[in-house]
Amino acid sequence: MEQNKSSITSLISAFARAYHSQYDTPKIFDDFIAKDLITEEEFSKISENMIQGISFINQDIGRKFQNQPDEILKWITQVQLSPTPLARAAFCEQVLLHEVVLGVKQYVILGAGLDTFCFRYPELENSLKIFEIDHPATQEFKKKRLADTHFQIPGHLHFIPMDFSNKWSDLSLLDDEFDGDKKTFFSLLGVSYYITKEEISSLFNHLFTNVPPGSSIVLDYADEKLFEEKGMYNRVENMLKMASAGGEPMQSCFSYDELENMLEKAGLLIYEHLSPTKINERFFNNRSDYLTAFETIHYIHAVKK
């Protein structure tokens, strides 16, 4: 990601969530606030770029729907853009809300982008502290967008600017409000692809050094077939090309054993693992549209022993 430039990936992810909330049925994950953080001009421009780029993604679909731009947008959004942001967010928040019942008091969102959790669950303001960690430019963009749309930043939401590729310090020093003695839940969604294996291993170690047992993390990752699997309609290959073209090339993929060992060294055990097949069964079953689980992408919930 370029210095002083907000993440394009976070904007495209918010677009995918906003589109799904407005146009798709049934809902996998209803982010009904995402549309408020994207201007009409941005939504229109992204839509137009996607429609015009159909020949890059799939020429056959472009010819089939050449006079139906809305159908092209639906196809490219549901096939290429939406599946991973929707299902991983649904999985993460299902786990998080269960963990809150079990005593989690702090939620740390790593690579928060345009996340809207705190605004969709205002009832948690007095029971859950939320810490959003992301690149400074992305956070400034989000703060400005919140101000522009008259969203008040609640007292339990804390912004912590950080570059993930830099050396991590003790989380307890990042913000006066963070309490290392309280059970904490972390999410790391849409991040593991873009940093090195050494960086993510260091990240796990630093995150869980000074939080109590029972603290946990949900993350998504690409398996070892990422750079060879083309996927349905070549969408895995297209994902790699689009990320690179956006200035955020994907760097890392993992075998399950490799990631399990990495987490174990940080003191964590994998509690739940969803393969693409399991993701499809849980979140995309019995649909009549184009939405299906993305090849090579897995989700994990890991808990500190």
Which of 124, 109, 183, 116 minimizes the C-alpha distance to 155? 124
* pLDDT tens digits along 241-277: 999 988 889 999 999 999 999 999 999 999 999 999 9
- Whether the pLDDT of residue 173 is over 60: the answer is no
Q: Are 88 and 299 in contact (CB under 8 A)?
A: yes
Determine, yes or no, domain membership for 1.
no
Helical ranges in the chain per DSSP H: 8-23, 40-52, 54-57, 59-64, 69-76, 83-101, 117-120, 136-148, 197-208, 235-245, 256-265, 276-283
Rounded to an integer, the average pLDDT of 159-164 is 84
* Distant-in-sequence, close-in-space partners of 257: CB < 8 Å, separation ≥ 6: none
- Whether the pLDDT of residue 169 is over 70: the answer is no
DSSP state letter for 254: B
If asked whether residues 105 and 161 sit together in one domain, one would say yes
If asked whether residues 72 and 113 sit together in one domain, one would say no
Cα Rg of the chain, angstroms: 19
Determine, yes or no, domain membership for 3.
no
Determine, yes or no, domain membership for 143.
yes
* pLDDT tens digits along 281-290: 999 999 999 9
Using CA atoms of 10, 13, 15, 20 in order, give the dihedral in degrees to the nearest 10: -160
Determine, yes or no, domain membership for 215.
yes
Longest dimension (CA), the chain: 59
pLDDT of residue 6: 63
Q: Can you give the CATH number for the domain in which 175 is found? A: 3.40.50.150
If asked whether residues 107 and 16 sit together in one domain, one would say no
The domain boundary residue, chosen from 31, 50, 81? 81
If asked whether residues 72 and 100 sit together in one domain, one would say no
pLDDT of residue 263: 98
If asked whether residues 14 and 143 sit together in one domain, one would say no
Rounded to an integer, the average pLDDT of 73-93 is 98
If asked whether residues 182 and 102 sit together in one domain, one would say yes
- Whether the pLDDT of residue 202 is over 80: the answer is yes
Rounded to an integer, the average pLDDT of 41-70 is 96
On average, the pLDDT of the chain sits at 93
Confidence of residue 1 (pLDDT cuts 50, 70, 90): very low
The domain boundary residue, chosen from 25, 60, 81? 81
If asked whether residues 105 and 137 sit together in one domain, one would say yes
The domain boundary residue, chosen from 66, 81, 96? 81
If asked whether residues 20 and 132 sit together in one domain, one would say no
Confidence of residue 92 (pLDDT cuts 50, 70, 90): very high
- Whether the pLDDT of residue 142 is over 80: the answer is yes
pLDDT of residue 238: 95
- Domain containing 194 equals 85-304
pLDDT of residue 174: 61
Q: Are 38 and 45 in contact (CB under 8 A)?
A: no
If asked whether residues 128 and 176 sit together in one domain, one would say yes
Determine, yes or no, domain membership for 2.
no
If asked whether residues 163 and 223 sit together in one domain, one would say yes
Confidence of residue 177 (pLDDT cuts 50, 70, 90): confident
If asked whether residues 92 and 235 sit together in one domain, one would say yes
pLDDT of residue 165: 62
User: For 9-13, 140-144, 172-176, which range has the lowest pLDDT when averaged over its residues?
Assistant: 172-176
Which of 75, 183, 84 minimizes the C-alpha distance to 128? 183
If asked whether residues 152 and 51 sit together in one domain, one would say no
Determine, yes or no, domain membership for 146.
yes
Tally of structural domains, the chain:
2
Determine, yes or no, domain membership for 180.
yes
* pLDDT tens digits along 10-26: 899 999 999 999 999 99
